[in-house]
Amino acid sequence: MIRLFAFLSFLVLSLLATAQEGELPCVPCGSTGRVRTVNQDVLYQGEDNVLFCANVAGNQRRFRGMRFRPCPLCKFPDLAAKAREEYDEGIRKQVEWYRLRQPIDRAFKSRLRSANGVPNSKFSHCTTEHFDLTWGTSKHVMDGKVVDRHGVMHRYVDRLEALCQSMESVFGTLVEERLNLNLVTGPPMAKSLKKVYRESLPEVDPFVVIWQAGKHKGDDRLHELLVHQLVDKLLMSVDLSDDRQWVSVGAGHHFAHSLVESPRVRTGVLAEQAYHDSADSFADIVRQRLESGVSPDFAALSAKAPSEFTSDDSLFAWSWVEFLMQAGHAPDKWQAFLKDPQPVANALESHFGASVSDFLEAWKQFASRPNESSDNS
Ligand SMILES: [Zn+2]
Ligand SMILES: [Zn+2]
């Protein structure tokens, strides 16, 4: 506070000193060297949740999103020079970021005409804290309203960042480097996009999620798909051991249940959608399974790849993860457990302090308790 005050006093005194040399404070900029660019706040409403957005960075006529430009009439050369420097640096960053997206935009020209000099691409792009997003859905219904592609992308930024935050609260930091995430609407688009990356942006390692609107109808299904795919991707990034893939499946269901408004949940590829329209919660179904004598085989389930999971496998994986999460293990314990190269049984013992039989015993008690499992659905 004192330093700020000192700085302000210094500024005022400097201005007075300069003004005393015969000049009046510059009227257009009020002696900051900067003037506002036109209507930026209105034009770029909703851009605050991203660091960069192509609709802004690509828009030269709107100063690429710079909220000020150097005062063209400034009577204070030092201030004007400083403002110019900051402005040029801001523009340089926007252009540099935007150039990296252009090979994609050039390869995916849309027939639609653009407004405000933004190129006609089939993709929108932005960069957030955790993601470099390339978004290829068309317009889409959200909360009963039709939203255009750019708007949908911005709405998803909040959802994706919320997922990262929730995951990090359990597992600690998972995204060391920003993840290049691409959403496309079908396998052919995915194939072409990967080709563009290979040929024009070989330094980027793209993660491509395919959303087939006909198969996963509606916004909640898109949200759910992204949650499952990202949980998997982010857990893989900590070198998740092969015999711990049930954690990824279980955590996918956990986060889908806590973040997606009405999760309907795929419960396994082999018996897909077995509980799709069931009114019972996952916790209820797990309890019923246990009551009817079905129980999971830890070694067998750990040996499976998620593509081999049955509905029961997915339910039990979910329930094990819920059980481990409610025990409140610290993120570093989780990460140590996930990537420990020992077999899963040993890793369980080393990091969560339980043999497989103790773990299953305690879990059964947790899962059999009526109305105490933490299923939000
Ligand atoms: Zn934007
Ligand atoms: Zn000025």
Q: What is the 3-state secondary structure (H, E, C) of the chain?
A: CHHHHHHHHHHHHHHHHHHHCCCCCCCCCCCCCEEECCCHHHHCCCHHHCCEEHHHHCCHHHHHHCCEEECCCCCCHHHHHHHHHHHHHHHHHHHHHHHCCHHHHHHCECCCCCCCCCCCECCEEEECCCEEEEECCCCEEECCEEECHHHHHHHHHHHHHHHHHHHHHHHCCCCCCCEEEEEECCHHHHHHHHHHHHHHCCCCCCEEEECCCCCCCCHHHHHHHHHHHHHHHHHHCCCCCHHHHHHHHHHHHHHHHHHCCCCCCCCCCCCCCCCCCCCCCHHHHHHHHHHCCCCCCHHHHHHCCHHHCCHHHHHHHHHHHHHHHHCCCCHHHHHHHHHCCCCHHHHHHHHHCCCHHHHHHHHHHHHHCCCCCCCCC
Residue whose tokens read 């309907």? 264
The ligand minimizing its distance to the Cα of 24 is: 2
Percent of the chain with pLDDT over 70: 83
Q: What is the mean pLDDT of the chain?
A: 84
pLDDT of residue 119: 53
What is the mean pLDDT of the segment spanning 30-59? Answer: 81
Yes or no: say if 219 and 141 are a contact pair by the CB < 8 Å rule.
yes
* CB under 5 Å of ion ligand 2: residues: 26, 28-29, 71, 74
Whether residue 115 is predicted with pLDDT greater than 90 in this model: the reply is: no
What is the mean pLDDT of the segment spanning 215-234? Answer: 89
- What are 134's strand-pairing partners? 125, 182
Q: What is the largest CA-CA distance in the chain?
A: 93
The ligand minimizing its distance to the Cα of 53 is: 1
Residue 343 C-alpha to ligand 1 middle, in angstroms? 46
pLDDT of residue 232: 92
pLDDT of residue 303: 95
pLDDT band at 314 (very low <50, low <70, confident <90, very high): confident
Residue 66 C-alpha to ligand 2 middle, in angstroms? 17
The ligand minimizing its distance to the Cα of 30 is: 2
Whether residue 346 is predicted with pLDDT greater than 60 in this model: the reply is: yes
Whether residue 264 is predicted with pLDDT greater than 50 in this model: the reply is: yes
Residue 75 C-alpha to ligand 2 middle, in angstroms? 6
Strand 140-142 to strand 145-147: parallel, antiparallel, or no bridges (unpaired)? antiparallel
* CB under 5 Å of ion ligand 1: residues: 53, 55
Residue 290 C-alpha to ligand 1 middle, in angstroms? 49
The ligand minimizing its distance to the Cα of 62 is: 1
Residue 43 C-alpha to ligand 1 middle, in angstroms? 10
Yes or no: say if 224 and 265 are a contact pair by the CB < 8 Å rule.
yes
The ligand minimizing its distance to the Cα of 57 is: 1
The ligand minimizing its distance to the Cα of 78 is: 2
pLDDT band at 27 (very low <50, low <70, confident <90, very high): confident
pLDDT band at 118 (very low <50, low <70, confident <90, very high): low
Residue 53 C-alpha to ligand 1 middle, in angstroms? 5
Say which range, 129-143, 145-159, 264-278, has the weakest mean pLDDT.
Answer: 264-278
CA 241 to chain centre: 23
Residue 19 C-alpha to ligand 2 middle, in angstroms? 13
- Of 260, 355, 364, 270, the C-alpha closest to 319 is 364
pLDDT of residue 125: 96
The ligand minimizing its distance to the Cα of 27 is: 2
